[in-house]
Structure 1
Amino acid sequence: MAWIGGGVVVLGGATLFGTRSVLAKVAERDLTRLGQGVPTVVQVHDPQCPTCNALQSQTRQALKGFGQDELQYLVADIKTQEGQSFAGRYGVPHVTLLLFDGEGNLVETLQGMRPAAELRPAFERLAK
């Protein structure tokens, strides 16, 4: 009986973690959050592109330590209409990071694969 209860607790914890992860991914794709007072990094992303996925990993690593009120990360998935529109508005391909100030003004464009060590200083400038 205790094992079953323990199993339920573990399953419940896994479900809670999975739910939080899904909600975080949904929030990352909500491009309406841009220009709401928080400087923002938007990755123009193709989830089927290995280079995009590597850039996303490096971006997430470079963002560690920033609070949600300092810097936010959003994803413009070019496999969606919204993501395609966003990329078209700024005339950029996938494997691109667009850095916006808190008012939603584009301040820097970083195209191509970049390591976290190169991204971190750009993010620090943006967060100031």
Structure 2
Amino acid sequence: MARTSKNNKRKKAQSAKVTSLAAENVPPSRRTVLGWIGMGALGVGVLGGGGAWAVNSFNRSMDERDLSQIGKGRPSIVQIHDPQCPICNALQRETRKALGKLKGEPPVYLIADITQTEGAVFAQRHSVPHVTLLLFDADGKRVQTLTGSRTRDELEPIFERHAR
């Protein structure tokens, strides 16, 4: 028990010392300032990384919605897409994963967003509903239509043949 009371006295003394230093407006220690600088640098890094990811994601999204890329010398795949449709979102994920597995240069992947005027006109011109993939050759001629949900295992061989 003597030990407990000695420890309690020491803790009370340390607490009193900290309180008195805070009351005297003692400047922060070097260690405290370096800690603040480190946390600030970490915060800047996290915000910068997040910002770079957001800009890259936005640019990729804009490139995917540029339907003028069809027929520009590379085969292309256009998804007729409704962003509010869970089946469309699943097809988009599966399509991206299947394209990511292809060896060599994959076809251009584009999105015709039917909630936007350009995408709705495109879907109407080709007379297809959402949850559809349209495959175009390098000259812009439609060569295949895939309607409905597909898995990456189903899509990969189709895309492999289309990329040739």
Give the alignment's TM-score, normalised by structure 2: 0.74
> Where does 1:1-128 land on structure 2 (aligned, <5 Å)?
1-66=37-102, 69-128=105-164
Name the CA shift for 1:37/1:67 in 2 (closer, same or farther; >3 Å): farther
The AA in structure 2 aligned to 1:82 is E
* Structure with greater helix percent: 2
CA contact (8 A) 1:46 1:52 kept: yes
Q: Over aligned residues, Cα RMSD in angstroms?
A: 1.4
Query: Contact (CA 8 Å) 1:101, 1:107: kept in 2 or not?
Result: yes
Whether the 8 Å contact between 2:102 and 2:156 is mirrored in structure 1 is no
Deviation, structure 1 residue 61: 1.2
> Contact 1:62–1:120 (CA<8 Å) still a contact in 2?
yes
Change (3 A) 1:68 1:25: farther
Deviation at 1:70, TM superposition (A): 3.3
- Normalised by the size of structure 1, how large is the TM-score? 0.94
The higher relative CO (CA closer than 8 Å, separation ≥ 6) is in: 1
The SS at the match of 1:64 is: helix
Q: In 1, are the aligned partners of 2:132 and 2:148 still within 8 Å (CA)?
A: yes
Identify unmatched segments of 5+ residues in structure 2.
Answer: 1-36
Question: Partners of 1:68 and 1:46 in 2: how far apart?
Answer: 29
- Runs ≥4 in structure 1, deviation > 3 angstroms? 65-70
- Could you give the per-residue CA deviations for residues 85-113 of structure 1, whole angstroms, max 9, x where no partner exists? 10011110001000011111111000011
**CA 13–67 in structure 1, closer or farther in 2 if over 3 Å, else same:** farther
Take 1:83 and 1:36, find their aligned partners in 2: how far apart are those partners?
A: 19
Contact 1:63 1:120 in 2 (8 A): yes
